[in-house]
Amino acid sequence: RKEVEQDPGPFNVPEGATVAFNCTYSNSASQSFFWYRQDCRKEPKLLMSVYSSGNEDGRFTAQLNRASQYISLLIRDSKLSDSATYLCVVTAWDSNYQLIWGAGTKLIIKP
Amino acid sequence: DGGITQSPKYLFRKEGQNVTLSCEQNLNHDAMYWYRQDPGQGLRLIYYSQIVNDFQKGDIAEGYSVSREKKESFPLTVTSAQKNPTAFYLCASRPSTDLNPYNSPLHFGNGTRLTVT
């Protein structure tokens, strides 16, 4: 089983819709969680950190469920520019806080 | 503007040749990292360095070597011993050696796409 798993997609979503996807992690010692966005053939860029109580940044909402060991990302009122691959990243104190990356979920927003 | 510069953007080499990928940062970051990304896979850590003249192996260090002679520079050499070198290579840095990434977010360069034939 992979340490961090994501549905590869693609998720094909009409512009303006709400879309959500999850990321599961296997290490119960995981402490830090992040969502990165990666455009085609570009470097990843930090979208948002994920905190225990959940957090929101504009149209983006991130949630953490420690009991079930997953994090989620919800995008409201999706824009064409949201089309990208969304990477889940997890770190754990018992692995010296090294970042463990998911393979990403591809999102395609259609006009 | 401060940032991380990787060069070249595209690199083509023949099998059996060593090749060095450049990574330079002017962000005054202490920690630097090399990752490899293959299609359908997450980023995998090759090497990292938290201080000048010191570096540590990551999960897939075999067939690679690095040096950290200057704070600004962390070049990666892909040797002929690396069995599958064709990949997208990403260099990254963090402001401090504080291991908790909430306190020290990762910054990436634009990447080098290496093709070995």
The model's pLDDT over B105-117, given as tens digits with 9 standing for 90+, comes to: 888 999 999 999 9
Contact A101, B43 (CB under 8 A): yes
Residues of chain A with pLDDT under 50: none
Smallest CA–CA distance from B58 into chain A, residue: A98
Instruction: Establish if A96 touches chain B: CB-CB under 8 angstroms.
Output: yes
**Average per-residue pLDDT in chain A?**
93
Q: Please tell me the distance from the alpha carbon of residue B99 to that of residue B109, in angstroms, as a whole number.
A: 20
Closest Cβ–Cβ partner in A43, A49, A103 for B41: A103
Q: For B30-88, how does the pLDDT look when each residue is reduced to its tens digit (9 = 90+)?
A: 999 999 999 888 899 999 998 999 999 999 999 999 999 999 999 999 998 898 999 99
**Best CA proximity match to B89, nearest among B32, B13, B23, B14:** B23
Note the pLDDT tens digit of each residue in A41-55.
899 999 999 999 999
pLDDT over threshold 80, residue B2: no
* pLDDT at res. B105: 80
DSSP state of A52: T
**Alpha carbon A63 to its chain's center:** 10
User: How far apart are alpha carbons B87 and B71 in whole angstroms?
Assistant: 26
